[in-house]
Amino acid sequence: MKVLVTGGAGYIGSMVCIELLNEGHDVFIVDNFSNSEMGTITKIMGITGKMVQYANVDITDRTALEVIFRSYQFDSVIHLAGKKSVSESIENPLQYYYDNLIGTVMLVQLMQQYDVQSIIFSSSATVYHPASICPIQETATLKSSSPYGRTKLAIENFFRELTAAHSNFSVVLLRYFNPIGAHSSGEMGEKPLEVPNNLLPYLMDAVSGKRPILEVFGNDYDTVDGSGVRDFIHVEDLAKGHIKALYYSMQNTGCEAFNLGSGTGYSVLQLIDTFAKVNEIDVPYHIGLRREGDIPVSFADISKAQRFLGWRPNKTLEEMCIDAWRWQLKLLKEQHVEAQIVFPSKKTV
């Protein structure tokens, strides 16, 4: 198949491209490189030994995007391009609605115009009501608490209405839980060019001395140790879910949502402990206040994805931590930064 991957140079997009290429598909990447690097494309080709076509195009640039649609007949689109910071979305909702919503609408206009009827959309667990019962099923009430989350929800609603009106259209909504880890080759992983948003980049910054310490946002939740609980999923497992979704989309029309998580909840302190143990390194942290807007516990029911996509995650929390740190060390070397271990460590970096 020939697949257009928007945001294909990003953390998740690049892993999706590797999986697509490994499965023998042709990949065309569209990325504006606002939070990714062109070097990632070279790495994708290096890891897979396959050629990738790409264009430095913003999906809101309809004219540039149309040139691509006119030149290639895609079988499907995997749509990951968009902005993804909750805090930034509160400061700049206009940008979030413009990039995420308008970008998606333009993409779908072109898909219709050029007769592409399948799309896999990167949604998020943030679309679920904060008070959802865990494990969260896809049928749970949808209500997001940030502009970022509401752009995802608005796009989901748009796709539901679109498929109701156009019965030959196929949309798979993938609701990601908390992707972490890096490619098992050690060659690729998360490299946020903007301020990081998530726990693991902060944890690794604290371990490598880029930040003095990791702040754990609260230890007074009603959880196993008081810290927040999340569903961490290895990014490679997550990427494989996209391939399964692509095959599902080829066989089915309509709009269907699937959770992609590990199905297990681990606390922030359990993650820190595992990371320290498997990498034989100390993680400097202190307990801070709860972060506004955080929910105590979130983990997925993944039985729908198992049943209908035939997908199941394989990697353990230990593997996620090992791969993440291996990649971080490589990155530090690439950046010629000597890792400064601020707390006594068992292993010299």
Determine, following the binding rule CB under 6 A, whether residue 286 of this chain makes contact with ligand UDP.
no
Shortest Cβ 313–ligand UDP spacing (Å):
17
End-to-end CA distance of the chain: 43
Shortest Cβ 294–ligand UDP spacing (Å):
5
Determine, following the binding rule CB under 6 A, whether residue 217 of this chain makes contact with ligand UDP.
yes
Maximal C-alpha separation, the chain: 61
Considering the complex, state which of residue 29 and residue 200 has its C-beta at the smaller distance from ligand UDP.
200
Among 116, 127, 216, 281, binds ligand UDP (CB under 6 A): 216
Number of residues in contact with ligand UDP under rule CB under 6 A:
15
Q: How distant, in Å, are the alpha carbons of 47, 206, 329 from that of 335?
A: 20, 17, 10
173: tokens are 């909504």
Strand segments (E) across the chain = 2-6, 26-31, 53-56, 76-79, 118-124, 170-176, 178-180, 214-217, 229-230, 232-234, 254-260, 266-267, 285-288
Considering the complex, state which of residue 214 and residue 235 has its C-beta at the smaller distance from ligand UDP.
214
Are the C-beta atoms of 5 and 80 separated by less than 8 Å?
yes
Q: Is the link from the previous residue into 147 a cis peptide, with omega within 30 of 0?
A: no
Considering the complex, state which of residue 5 and residue 199 has its C-beta at the smaller distance from ligand UDP.
199
Interacting positions 195-214 with ligand UDP (CB under 6 A)? 197-199, 202, 214
Report the DSSP pairing between strands 266-267 and 229-230.
antiparallel
Interacting positions 126-185 with ligand UDP (CB under 6 A)? 178
Considering the complex, state which of residue 8 and residue 149 has its C-beta at the smaller distance from ligand UDP.
149
Shortest Cβ 202–ligand UDP spacing (Å):
4
Considering the complex, state which of residue 189 and residue 246 has its C-beta at the smaller distance from ligand UDP.
189
Residue at shortest CB range from ligand UDP:
228
| 231 vs 179: CA distance, rounded Å | 8
Interacting positions 55-74 with ligand UDP (CB under 6 A)? none
Interacting positions 223-282 with ligand UDP (CB under 6 A)? 228, 230, 268
Q: Residue 258's beta-bridge partner residues?
A: 174
- Establish whether 148 is a catalytic residue: yes
Question: In 3D, which of 313, 152, 309, 301 has the Cα closest to residue 245?
Answer: 309
Which part of the chain contacts ligand UDP (CB under 6 A), choosing from 36-44, 60-68, 104-112, 215-223?
215-223
Are the C-beta atoms of 226 and 219 separated by less than 8 Å?
yes
DSSP result, 246-295: HHHHHH--EEEEEEES-S--EEHHHHHHHHHHHHT----EEEEPPPTT--
Considering the complex, state which of residue 22 and residue 197 has its C-beta at the smaller distance from ligand UDP.
197
Q: How distant, in Å, are the alpha carbons of 44, 166, 230, 313 from that of 270?
A: 32, 46, 10, 20
What is the Cα Rg of the chain in Å? 20
Shortest Cβ 218–ligand UDP spacing (Å):
7
Shortest Cβ 190–ligand UDP spacing (Å):
11
Shortest Cβ 268–ligand UDP spacing (Å):
5
Considering the complex, state which of residue 178 and residue 249 has its C-beta at the smaller distance from ligand UDP.
178
Active site residue: 54, 97, 128, 148, which one? 148
Within a 10 A sphere around the Cβ of 349, how many other Cβ atoms?
17
Are the C-beta atoms of 54 and 31 separated by less than 8 Å?
yes
Shortest Cβ 192–ligand UDP spacing (Å):
12
Helix, strand or coil, per DSSP, at residue 339:
coil
Interacting positions 289-318 with ligand UDP (CB under 6 A)? 291, 294, 298
Residues that bind ligand UDP (CB under 6 A): 178, 197-199, 202, 214-217, 228, 230, 268, 291, 294, 298
Task: Give catalytic residue positions.
Answer: 148
